Structure 1
Amino acid sequence: MSAQWQEPPVTGPSVRQSRRGPVRRLVVGNRPSSPATVTDLTAALGAATRRGAGPVPVDRVDVEESTAAAARGHVAGTALDPTSTAARMGAAAAAMTALDLPAGITDPVSWNGFGALIPVLSGSPGAGASVVAAALADTLQTAGRCVLLVDAADPARSGLAAAAEVEGPWTSALTPDLSLRFSWRGQALLTRLESTLPVITPGMVPPPPQWLPELDPLHVTVVDIGHDGWRAAANPLAGPGGWLRLGTPAQRPLLVVRPTRPSLRHAEQVLARLEPWVSAGAAVNPYQLVVVGAKRWPAGVVGAAGRRLEPMTETAVFVPHDEEVQVAGVTAELLPDRLLDAVTPLLTRWNLLPDAAGRPRRRLR
């Protein structure tokens, strides 16, 4: 069934027409409905998203993002049939949700096969989680470790979008509209999402087992969760939040912030959103706080930390400011040594670096 806007015949001026122009009607299947509004269109596209999902319930966030993307494509002329686009997005989200429906909320996930698992969660917008994820992966690969770097973000909003010099030729199809692409970042394997759909909503992010390649031995998996820590922490049972599920062997999530009071206030709310899931035994709290853009806490900043975050500020790891990275972001080049040096003590403390890591670092191409 197709949908398109149709201009009605001009029958005479009215107060509404003089202020807003002619009222347009939404034509579905070549049959005009009652005069359409933004609310009508939103409701129709939301219903199409749910129809596409079938019996699998999809999160409200996925419905809203699918509706907005389909409507935007229609207005821009890139989606001639917005209801079909919305339905395909609903189907993709439902397919990923159905892959990992847990038998019980508190049933632990098996992280076997991932090696040591380090999910990286952003505590506030623009905190630098992608830089931290890349720094961890680069430090490990220059020490000779076999590393998988997972980019779970929507490609259009990913901080790792330029992290590989070329796109790898290996793909793994998940649905007709969604797949994983494997590329190389130096000698680390980078995995990211690809889609023919306008956006990738949180519900379209495949569950962790789907990201695991046939790579043996895999020493460490570093995950840039993406999708805003606030949303990821809302539901660790599906989507990007699935990397925070309680499991064995235990993962070590990192929470990334900026050295500012607003960033700490944001991070406190991310922890508050995750807290009920942790209390229920379904998720794990961040294991370590990482501060990007400073060598120490600026005066007066730590006081903004709430009761959940404050204990983590005492053992925070600091990743210093780097002008080049601030301007260019994460590129295909390995990050500067000063950033890798900042996370090396953390990885050493976790016994993830071999003894040879103390020798001069090998800059891989």
Structure 2
Amino acid sequence: MNTEWVDHDSESSTGGVEQRDRTLTRLACRSWQDLPTADVVAAVESGELTTANHGAAAGQRVTAATAASAAAVQRQGVAPVSDAVADWSGFGAVIPVLAGSPGAGASLVAAVLSDALSSLRQRVLLVDTAEPVRSGLATAAPVEGAAEAGPHESVRVRHSWRDESTVLARLETELPVFTPGMVPPPRFFKPTNGALDVTVVDIGHDAWRMAAHPLSGPGAWLRSGSPPVRPLLACRASRPSLSQAEQVLARLEAWNEAGVITFPIQLVVVGASSWPAGVTGAAGRRVAALLEEAVFLPHDSTVAVEGITAEPVPKRVRAAIMPLLSRWGLVASSPVTSRRAVRRRNRKDSPA
């Protein structure tokens, strides 16, 4: 950390939390006048955390370094205020996965997708945008690969092989808080060698907060572009999860209507084989539009206890996602999928 912006007038007098917050906010805002509010807030929080453990001077240095890192990273991507479209041509089919509610299982959905595709010899990039200590994919690779330089000295991307067809890209930093703007632009996650068939992205940040301003950080994976991305929304088979998922979609709707992001097109229900009685009544109009084609990932006791490990997700869970991949043309259609497609067409074509 080379940044040494310290307010010496306030260093000797902490002046309480309110005074410290004002000082830290001034330091964070010095890094870049266009730094999004979410990054300013996170930089201040990193300073408060450091102050509590190491004193005011250390807290100010960490706030300045965190804000400087976020500013440097964002200046290397599409500007947060830009409505420019993205070029996804080097990533294959891009599938971002959002959590509709806390604990919805977005990391599991991402792992299921990547393992299912890898089992069919698809070349997959599995991207983890989560803060490192909160990652649901932290133990998804049997051996850690090398950490490569990122867009700033405080942000690195580690590429590891999950299996012979899947590269896992995860973030690392020595700073105590990872702000949304510190998530590198998509190109920094791409391996330097080899073509990709599919890129699966675990948008491991609070989707509710991200949806307020999804044009930077992890939300950059939702940007409209060519070819179009195919976002999935993960939820649980419960009324609270559907209600919260509706609110995430409500926030994203305006951005979608402005043409700058792609709205989630698929609902994946984690840990269930069907809807319990009365649950779908909690769906608002946006979630309701996704109910008919919802995919259910059955409960698996080992995954529920162990989480995502270096072992492939159990076959029965992977099998549940195959019809969706067939429908999207990412894998060959199976007879079961074809029969379901025929039934759907017959229902649509039948007279009222």
TM over 0.5: yes
Residue 341 of structure 1 corresponds to 319
Q: CA offsets, 1:180-209, max 9 Å, x none?
A: 110111121000111111121111111212
Residue 19 of structure 1 corresponds to none
In the alignment, is residue 268 of structure 1 matched against residue 241 of structure 2?
Answer: no
Cα drift, residue 337 of structure 1 = 0.8
Kindly tell me the number of residue pairs found equivalent between the two proteins: 332
In the alignment, is residue 37 of structure 1 matched against residue 37 of structure 2?
Answer: no
Alignment of 1:205-224 (within 5 A): 205-224=183-202
In the alignment, is residue 117 of structure 1 matched against residue 94 of structure 2?
Answer: yes
Q: Secondary structure at the match of 2:91?
A: coil
Cα drift, residue 82 of structure 1 = 1.0
Distance 1:206 1:357, change over 3 A: farther
- Contact map agreement 2:150 2:188 (CA 8 A) in 1: no
Q: Secondary structure at the match of 2:286?
A: coil
Q: Secondary structure at the match of 1:190?
A: strand
Q: Distance in 1 between matches of 2:108 and 2:25?
A: 35
Q: Distance in 2 between matches of 1:203 and 1:184?
A: 26
In the alignment, is residue 301 of structure 1 matched against residue 253 of structure 2?
Answer: no
Residue 67 of structure 1 corresponds to 44
Larger mean Cα displacement after TM superposition, 197-206 or 252-261: 197-206
- Contact map agreement 1:150 1:192 (CA 8 A) in 2: yes
- Where structure 1 has 5 or more consecutive residues not aligned to the other structure, the ranges are 4-26, 359-365
Residue 347 of structure 2 corresponds to none
In the alignment, is residue 282 of structure 1 matched against residue 256 of structure 2?
Answer: no
Q: Distance in 1 between matches of 2:188 and 2:212?
A: 21
In the alignment, is residue 181 of structure 1 matched against residue 158 of structure 2?
Answer: yes
Q: Secondary structure at the match of 1:196?
A: coil
Residue 48 of structure 1 corresponds to 27
Cα drift, residue 357 of structure 1 = 12
Cα drift, residue 245 of structure 1 = 0.7
Q: Distance in 2 between matches of 1:184 and 1:248?
A: 27
- Contact map agreement 1:129 1:224 (CA 8 A) in 2: yes
Residue 154 of structure 1 corresponds to 131
Residue 317 of structure 1 corresponds to 295
Larger mean Cα displacement after TM superposition, 94-103 or 171-180: 94-103
Q: TM-score, normalised by structure 2?
A: 0.89
Amino acid in the other structure paired with 2:63: A
Cα drift, residue 28 of structure 1 = 3.2
Hey, which bits of structure 1, 4+ residues long, moved more than 3 A?
A: 27-33, 101-106, 354-358
Cα drift, residue 54 of structure 1 = 3.1
Q: Distance in 2 between matches of 1:97 and 1:30?
A: 29
Q: Distance in 1 between matches of 2:222 and 2:32?
A: 27
Cα drift, residue 78 of structure 1 = 8.4
Q: Distance in 1 between matches of 2:293 and 2:240?
A: 20
Amino acid in the other structure paired with 1:278: N
Q: CA offsets, 1:141-164, max 9 Å, x none?
A: 111111000001101111111111
CA RMSD of aligned residues (A): 2.3
Amino acid in the other structure paired with 1:172: A
Amino acid in the other structure paired with 1:151: D
Match of 2:331 among 353, 361, 364: 353
Distance 1:44 1:118, change over 3 A: same
In the alignment, is residue 198 of structure 1 matched against residue 176 of structure 2?
Answer: yes
Distance 1:236 1:197, change over 3 A: same
- Contact map agreement 1:2 1:29 (CA 8 A) in 2: no
Cα drift, residue 256 of structure 1 = 0.4
Q: Secondary structure at the match of 1:69?
A: helix
Q: Secondary structure at the match of 2:299?
A: coil
- Contact map agreement 1:66 1:86 (CA 8 A) in 2: yes
Q: CA offsets, 1:45-73, max 9 Å, x none?
A: 1211122x234x22222122221122112
Q: Distance in 1 between matches of 2:96 and 2:325?
A: 14
Amino acid in the other structure paired with 1:54: W
Residue 342 of structure 2 corresponds to none
Q: TM-score, normalised by structure 1?
A: 0.86
- Structure with greater helix percent: 2
In the alignment, is residue 28 of structure 1 matched against residue 37 of structure 2?
Answer: no
Q: Secondary structure at the match of 1:45?
A: helix
Q: Secondary structure at the match of 1:341?
A: helix
Residue 75 of structure 2 corresponds to 98
Amino acid in the other structure paired with 2:17: V
Distance 1:104 1:81, change over 3 A: closer
Q: Distance in 1 between matches of 2:239 and 2:97?
A: 20
Match of 2:308 among 304, 320, 330: 330
- Where structure 2 has 5 or more consecutive residues not aligned to the other structure, the ranges are 337-352
Q: Secondary structure at the match of 1:159?
A: coil
Larger mean Cα displacement after TM superposition, 329-338 or 78-87: 78-87
Cα drift, residue 74 of structure 1 = 2.1
Q: Distance in 1 between matches of 2:325 and 2:72?
A: 36
Amino acid in the other structure paired with 1:36: G
- Contact map agreement 1:2 1:81 (CA 8 A) in 2: no
